[in-house]
Amino acid sequence: MNRLLICFSFIALTAFVPSFLWAQIDEPTKPAKRPTMALIGYGGAGQYGYIGAGNRDYITSQIVIDTIFRYAPTGTEADLYSLSILEMTADRKFRGTTVTGFLGVEIRDEIGPYIHVQAGITHVSARERCSSNCGNIGNIYRLSMLAEPSANLSMLGIRNLFLGSRIIEPKIWNYQYTLAQGAILFHPFENRTIDPFIGIELGFGVCSAESINASCNAYSAGVRTGIRYNVNDQMFVQLQAAATKEMMSFVTDEESFTLELPTVSPFYTFGVGFWLF
pLDDT at residue 150 greater than cutoff 70: no
pLDDT at 115: 96
Write the class of the CATH domain 34-53+103-131+174-277. mainly beta
Residue spans of the domains in the chain: they are 34-53+103-131+174-277, 54-90+135-169
Q: What distance in Å separates the CA atoms of residue 103 and residue 105, rounded to the nearest whole number?
A: 7
pTM over the 0.85 mark: no
Specify which residues 32 forms β-bridges with: none
pLDDT at residue 130 greater than cutoff 90: no
Q: What distance in Å separates the CA atoms of residue 14 and residue 135, rounded to the nearest whole number?
A: 99
pLDDT at 227: 97
What 122-125 contacts at long range (C-beta under 8 Å, 24+ apart), as own/partner pairs, is 122/178, 122/179, 122/181, 122/203, 123/176, 123/177, 123/178, 123/179, 124/98, 124/99, 124/100, 124/176, 124/177, 124/178, 124/179, 124/246, 125/98, 125/99, 125/100, 125/174, 125/175, 125/176
The region that residue 135 occupies, defined by phi over 0 for left and psi between -120 and 50 for alpha, beta otherwise, is left
Please report which confidence band the pLDDT of residue 161 belongs to, taking 50, 70 and 90 as the band edges. Answer: low
Backbone angles phi, psi at 88, to 5 degrees: -75, -25
